[in-house]
């Protein structure tokens, strides 16, 4: 996630945000997504900001992840005050390329962040957001104890995965759990399968398609999409996964008892040079 400055009614390179008529200069309004990192640290940081700046108050507005774009668009249309946004890289790019944000090119403390943490928030040569939390990736946690107890091995091919899934289901377990209600999670599965159908050129192929050099109906795209649906057709996901919103499901917390968990919370590197990485 990244903190970005909202720009209402102005276009780059204006360096100050245009405020709505009813904006309160004594209040800092921050819009974030429910459950988005750093969801626990952000309220504390805002309180510390108020303490360090007597007379100023902060307001944290939370939108559900699956409704964020619609609700923020409504807020923009209504001219509501928004000073900072806590965005993921996907949404940041949307608003940066539509001239809805102020850039952070002039900040003096970029060296606090590892270079890899700034790359996702740099669009068209400008830095549009500051990293928050820890840098990580989408990983799959495997319940090896469960597999060993049932005499199963970690699969290395899809056919093996399907066989393991069938064996697990027969014992009342599921192969995967997944926060299916969160729309941001589905591109992860698609890009994983798209990497396979494109020879690990999923990013390059996406750029080609968006540049008019390909179509989303091309065979490699269609095959990648079908592979995602195949997980569902082969009943590898836990029942009810389309209603789940948590990114950190635990096998003991759900009756579906998944053998593997797709999560976004394992951190590989801290985003700030002197911080500690976070792990599950």
The predicted model gives 150-179 an average pLDDT of 88
Q: What is the pLDDT of residue 17?
A: 36
Indicate the CATH number for domain 2-133: 3.40.190.10
Token readout for 224 is: 């990648």
Chain Cα centroid distance, residue 113: 19
Whether 139-263 and 2-133 are alike in CATH topology: the answer is yes
- Distance of alpha carbon 277 from alpha carbon 135, whole angstroms: 8
Higher-confidence residue of 195 and 5: namely 195
Indicate the CATH number for domain 139-263: 3.40.190.10
Q: pLDDT tens for residues 171-200?
A: 888 888 777 777 777 888 898 899 999 999
The predicted model gives 89-95 an average pLDDT of 83
Each domain of the chain, given as residue ranges in start order, spans 2-133, 139-263
Q: What is the pLDDT of residue 268?
A: 33
What's the mean pLDDT when you consider all of the chain? 77
**Which value, in Å, is the radius of gyration of the alpha carbons in the chain?**
21
Q: What is the pLDDT of residue 14?
A: 22
- Taking residue 183's Cβ as centre, other Cβ atoms within 10 Å add up to 13
Q: pLDDT tens for residues 23-81?
A: 567 899 989 888 766 667 888 889 999 999 999 999 999 998 778 889 999 998 898 99
- Distance of alpha carbon 271 from alpha carbon 240, whole angstroms: 34
The predicted model gives 202-222 an average pLDDT of 94
Dihedral in degrees, nearest 10, Cα atoms 214, 218, 223, 228 = 60
Token readout for 53 is: 């700046």
Token readout for 123 is: 């669009």
Q: Is residue 176 within 8 Å of 242, Cβ to Cβ?
A: no
Q: Please, which pLDDT band fits residue 89 given cuts at 50, 70 and 90? A: confident
229 pLDDT more than 70: yes
> Any idea which of 12-16, 47-51, 213-217 has the lowest mean pLDDT?
12-16
pTM score:
0.63
């Amino acid at each position: 996630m990244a903190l970005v400055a909202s720009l209402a009614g102005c276009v780059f390179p204006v360096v100050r945000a245009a405020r709505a008529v009813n904006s309160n200069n004594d209040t800092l309004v921050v819009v974030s997504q429910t459950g988005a990192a750093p969801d626990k640290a952000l309220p504390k940081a805002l309180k510390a900001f108020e303490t360090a700046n007597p007379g100023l108050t902060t307001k944290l507005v939370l939108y559900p992840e699956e409704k964020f774009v619609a609700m923020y668009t409504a807020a923009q249309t209504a001219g509501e005050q928004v000073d900072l946004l806590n965005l993921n890289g996907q949404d940041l790019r949307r608003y940066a390329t539509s001239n809805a944000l102020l850039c952070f090119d002039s900040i003096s403390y970029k060296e606090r962040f590892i270079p890899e943490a700034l790359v996702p928030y740099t669009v068209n040569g400008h830095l549009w957001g500051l990293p928050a939390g820890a840098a990580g990736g989408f990983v799959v946690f495997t319940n090896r104890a469960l597999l060993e107890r049932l005499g199963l091995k970690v699969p290395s091919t899809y056919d093996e995965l399907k066989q393991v899934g069938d064996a697990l289901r027969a014992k009342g377990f599921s192969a995967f759990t997944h926060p299916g209600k969160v729309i941001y999670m589905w591109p992860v599965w698609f890009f994983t399968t798209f990497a396979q159908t494109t020879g690990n050129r999923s990013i390059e192929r996406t750029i080609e398609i968006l540049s008019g050099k390909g179509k989303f109906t091309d065979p490699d795209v269609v095959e990648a999409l079908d592979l995602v649906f195949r997980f569902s057709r082969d009943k590898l996901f836990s029942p009810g996964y389309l209603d789940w919103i948590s990114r950190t499901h635990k096998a003991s917390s759900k009756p579906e008892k998944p053998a593997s968990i797709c999560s976004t919370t394992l951190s590989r590197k801290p985003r700030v040079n002197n911080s500690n990485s976070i792990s599950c």
